[in-house]
Each structure stands twice: as structure tokens, then as C-alpha cells.
Amino acid sequence: MVDGFLVINKPAGISSHDVVNQVRRILCTKKVGHTGTLDPFATGVLPIAVGEGTKAIQFLDEGIKRYEAVIRMGLSTDTLDITGTVLQELNTAEISREKLLNVMAALTGEIEQLPPMFSAIKHAGQPLYKLARKGIEVERQLRKVNIQGFELLEFENPFATVRVTCSRGTYIRTLADDLGLKLGCGACLTELRRTMSGSFLLENAITIEQLAAYAEEGDILKQLFTIAAAVSHLKEILLENKELERLKNGIPPLERLAEMPTGIFRLMHQGKLISVAEKSPESGVILKRVFNN
């Protein structure tokens, strides 16, 4: 059994769930899940949890993400990207590099976004994109997001290639749409690639084809992030042998944790992640997850 995380370089044209299904077939296991959904037309970093790694998804630190995108100014669509139906097309001759940079600066920092209808957010138990496909639009709540960086990499009117560093939950399609609204000409995405999701980077990513080749050669482990490495941002407690035995019976190291502040901890033994525990004023110490090693 393979346990840990893979970083897949998702190709365009398939969903994140399609990638999960392909990984399941290649590794011959059902215990596969993904974090941070990418739109079908988007490419790049898609972290995939395998085996015991699926238990650790909730503890990952993916608060910061980075994208590179191509924005087509002067074109508005119902999906806010090039795959949708064109709603309006306007001239962009008056859009200068300076004007573009000024608007990008105005969209940097903490801003509010309205989640797009074509998204996986649920309304009354149904994903918004299913309602959108039926021509139904529902009221959504504005969300605060943090755009830490909004850089212009290339500008050739009406196209702008940008790099966005942002908080989790940011919609780059919405950012492109907001840019177009402020410019007065509309805009949509034509390309989107995620280059970073927390500690998972594009330079560490492999394609589905490469994964299949590594699996055939029996070389998967070299491409795998261990569960301990994936949650290395958590405070660490090294278990003694007697504490390990107690933990196997569901007893956390209460004396050790009593000395620690509140928070979430990874409990380690001989380089392996044994459990994730949480200490809080409300519930005391609880074992959130115990991993099979």
C-alpha cells in the first residue's frame, strides 16, 4: 500500500475527479482523494492524497496559492472564462499598460469577491454550477480574500499574462472579471495554471503519464511526499516508546501536551507520523487522526 501525497500536473480538459480516478486505476487502490479543486480548463498543481494520506487532507497548510493566468480583456462570458458563452465584446484600444497596472494595484490586498455561479459551492445541497447550467442564478454572499501579489508578466492588448499569489478560496476567474469591470471593458480567463498550493510546487509535479511509468517500474515511492512531510507545519511531539504503546490504545500523551499551548500537533515516532492531536480549552486533548504504519 502506498501512503502519502503525489503532486500531479493536471492537464487541461479533465476534472480534478477525473485525475483521482486515473490515479486509482494506476495505483490499484480506492483510497485516493484530491485537495483544492481545479477547473477542467485549468492546469498545474493538484495535490493527490493516497492511502493513509487521505486522513491528513484536513491538516494540510494550503492557505497560500499561486497561479499564472492569461486574461482576455474586452470579452465577457457567463462562466468568466473562455469556455463559456460570450455575453459582450468591447474595444480595448484605450487600455494602456499604466491603466492596467493601476487597476491591478486596486485589486491587491484584502478584497471582497462574489463567488461565480459556475463553482462547486452548494446552494440547498446542489452545486451552483448545476443550477447555472439550467439558467438559474441564486444570491451569493461576498467573501473576503487576500490577494498578496498581482503581477503583470506580459501585456499585449487585449491579453495580459499575470501571476497571482492569494489566499485559499480565491477565484481567479472572478478576479479577472472584476479587473474587466474596473477597466470598463469586461474580461475573462483564457488560461489558468496553478504553480503552488501551500508546500506543493509545480517543479515537484509529475504528469499522469509519468505516474503510470513510475508505477510500472515500481518507483512510486521516490515521487511521494510522506504524510509527515505534508503536515510538517504542525508543531511536533516526539513520542517515547511507552507513550507510543499507550497511544495504540487511544491514550494521548497527556503529560507532554499539558506543557504545550493550545493547537494541533503531529505526534511522531522514529520519523513516522503516528497521530495528529488537538488541544483546546473546550474539549481538552483529543486524537484527531491515528495513522497506520
Active site members = 39
Cα-only R_g, the chain: 22
> CA 12, CA 189: separation in Å to the nearest integer?
14
Amino acid at 67: Y
Total Cβ atoms within 10 A of residue 125: 5
Q: Of 90, 35, 43, which Cα lies nearest the Cα of 63?
A: 35
Return the H-helix or E-strand segment holding 145.
strand 143-156
- Within 13 Å and on the Cβ side, how many CA atoms surround 11? 8
Q: How far apart, in Å, are the Cα atoms of 66 and each of 92, 213, 263, 279?
A: 27, 28, 27, 31
DSSP secondary structure string for all residues of 47-75: EEEEGGGGGGGGG----EEEEEEEEEETE
- Within 13 Å and on the Cβ side, how many CA atoms surround 241? 0
Q: What are phi and psi of 41, to 5 degrees?
A: -80, -10
Amino acid at 151: E
**Contact (CB, 8 A) for 46 and 62:** no
Max distance between CA atoms of the chain, in angstroms, equals 72
Residue in the structure block whose three cell numbers are 501585456: 155
**Contact (CB, 8 A) for 206 and 8:** yes
Listed in order, strand segments (DSSP E) in 157-282 are: 159-167, 187-197, 200-201, 235-238, 263-269, 272-280
